[in-house]
Each structure stands twice: as C-alpha cells, then as structure tokens.
Amino acid sequence: MNNISTDIHKAKTILEQDNLVAIPTETVYGLAGNAFSETAIKKIFATKNRPLFNPLIVHIHSKELLDDIAEKVPQKAYQLAEAFWPGSLTLVVKKKSDIPYLVTAGKNTVAVRVPNHPLTLSLLQLLDFPLVAPSANPFGSISPTAAEHVANYFPETVPLILDGGICESGIESTIIGFEEDEPIVYRLGAIAIEAIEAVVGKVKVMNTEEAAPEAPGMLLKHYAPKTKTIIVDDIENFLKENSLPKIGTITFFKKIEHNNLVHQEVLSERKDFKEAAANLYQAMHRLDKMNLNLIIAEPFPDENLGKSINDRLNRATK
C-alpha cells in the first residue's frame, strides 16, 4: 500500500536513500528523485516505463539557483524566471557540466523550474540537492492532479506520496527553450502565451511535429485516457445523428441535452479558462473510470489557456 502523508521529513529521508517520492506541484503531481543520483533517476524511468530519450525537468526552490544548474542563460530567460517563478513555466537552457546526461537524455540543455506549491517548496529547501520530477503517471497516460490519482497508478512502487491536495492549475507547465537567445515555446501549458508575450514580446510556438526532436517528450499520443476519445464541433448534433451507447462529454460551459449521456463534464460554467484547465484532467480521470464506450469533447476557443486545453485534448484523441 502507498503511504500518503504530508511529512516532508519522511520524504527527505526517502529521497536521501535514492528512493522516489511523489510530490504535489501547482500543475500536476511529479515523481521525484535526487537529480544527482543515477540510481534514483533510473528508478523514475523504470517506474513510469518512460523511454530514456525523454528528458526530465529539474525542480529548484528559488530562481537564484538557476545558475547552479545552467550556464550562458539568455537575458530573456532571466526575465521570464523573474516574472513567473515560482510558477508553471519551465525553461530549457544550456546545462552545467555536472548535470547528469541521464536527466537530459544526452542533450546539452536542461529543463528547470521552480514549482509553486508550499509543501514541495519546503521540501526542496530541506534538501541539499534539486529534484528531477516527470509527471507521476505511467508513460502516456493522463497526468495526476490529486494524490489519489498517483496512488491508483502506482499502488506498490512509490514508497511515499506527499499529499498537497488538488493541483491548482491542473495542467503541465509551459516549456520554453531558446534559439539564438530568443524564446521558443516547446509545450503549451498552464501559463498562456499571451502572458509570456507580455514579458518578452512575440514568441515562436513550435507545432508538435517541430517540437518533437527538440522536446523529445512531445510525442503525439500523450495525456490519453484509456477510453476512446474524439473531438466534435457540435456535440448535440453529432449525438442526434449517431446512436451510440455509453457516452461521456467534455465541454467548456455548455450543457448537453441528450438522453443517452452517462456523464457530462462542464469544465467552467462561468467560461473561465483557468477554471477549465484546472478541471480538465480531473474530468478525464472521472470519465475514464466509468467504463464508457466513448468520450466526446468539444474544441475550445483558440486563445489564452484554450490553446493549451486544445493541445491536451488533441493528444488525448491520438
């Protein structure tokens, strides 16, 4: 049985022994280990069944520590760190030589962020090493946004889950890399492009195919429920024309009127992107437990966090 607790001292002991602890962040739960321990890093890949070519994010407790992890950091990276850390922004910058290649999948760059969760920040302050932490789900499945999701995924193999409640943002961090010191978005996420651009001006957003070689984790199928999922512009009309058993839906604010619906998830009745993003994975986890034949989602407006939600919905259908 998993040990779910809020005891960061227990977490420290386990991490110091090269074992893993699931940690809460404001985005999703992470599966954490000592960033300098080869044993711990290997356990992360093995537990998640994650391919070794997919690099990990290094979590630190303060932006002042960025220069311990990275070098030749572009000016705009510092500006972004200043604006968004602690928070849901991951920077991909040139790694310092002592960062293990196992963390970076052999690349000379490293992904870094300061998560914005009080429990995890306190834990990081107690430790004398940073934590590498991918999302705490088996490779390819929906990221966990509650301690209970992690426990369901790994009933035996994770010795401790730190319980920090439900993740406030509920969707992974926005990942930004640099090309000739200019920011490029590798992964859409919890911080909207509009907010990034307000700090550093216009940024390039890579599409998934472009991002794949740069950010090797950006495989098309990802974040996916086990239940078949499709995206349909007009769900009510689609349901009228197709008679399908056991359906669940995901909409932004609209209620679907239909007799056959087993369950519907309305992500934000008040049409709030932040609330919708926070509810997205919670909704997917609930729907995925209902033995449905099909999950039908509608596309979100292509702006603000709507873009990030569409990115995750699209991956869920692949």
Residue 227 touching Mg ion (CB under 5 A): no
Q: How far is the CB of 129 from ligand TXA (least distance, A)?
A: 16
Q: How far is the CB of 31 from ligand TXA (least distance, A)?
A: 8
State the sign of the Cα–Cα–Cα–Cα dihedral 313, 318, 151, 43: negative
Looking at beta carbons only, is 216 or 306 nearer to ligand TXA? 216
State which H helix or E strand residue 151 sits in.
helix 147-153
Residue 281 CA to residue 276 CA, distance in Å, equals 10
Closest by Cα among 90, 120, 86 to 12: 120
Residue 135 touching ligand TXA (CB under 6 A): yes
Looking at beta carbons only, is 109 or 135 nearer to Mg ion? 135
Q: How far is the CB of 312 from Mg ion (least distance, A)?
A: 11
Angle in degrees, 0-180, between the axes of helices 273-288 and 304-317, rounded to the nearest 10: 20
Closest by Cα among 73, 77, 69, 70 to 35: 69
- Which residue in the set 27, 37, 104, 135 belongs to the binding site for Mg ion (CB under 5 A)? 135
Looking at beta carbons only, is 124 or 283 nearer to ligand TXA? 124
Contact flags string 53-82 toward ligand TXA, x per CB under 6 A: -xxxx-------------------------
Residue 133 CA to residue 135 CA, distance in Å, equals 6
Q: How far is the CB of 84 from ligand TXA (least distance, A)?
A: 12
Q: Are 136 and 155 in contact (CB under 8 A)?
A: no
Residues in region 90-129 near ligand TXA by CB under 6 A: 90, 92, 104, 107, 109-111, 115
How far, in whole angstroms, is CA 64 from its chain's centroid? 23
Pairing of strands 30-34, 131-132: antiparallel
Q: Are 123 and 225 in contact (CB under 8 A)?
A: no
Q: Are 269 and 277 in contact (CB under 8 A)?
A: no
Q: How far is the CB of 90 from Mg ion (least distance, A)?
A: 12
Q: Among 82-90, 130-138, 202-210, 288-296, which window interacts with Mg ion (CB under 5 A)? A: 130-138
CB count in 10 Å sphere of residue 91: 31
Looking at beta carbons only, is 104 or 227 nearer to ligand TXA? 104
Q: Which residues bind ligand TXA (CB under 6 A)?
A: 25, 27-28, 30, 54-57, 90, 92, 104, 107, 109-111, 115, 133-135, 172-173, 175, 177, 186, 214-218
Which spans of this chain sit near Mg ion (rule: CB under 5 A)?
Answer: 135
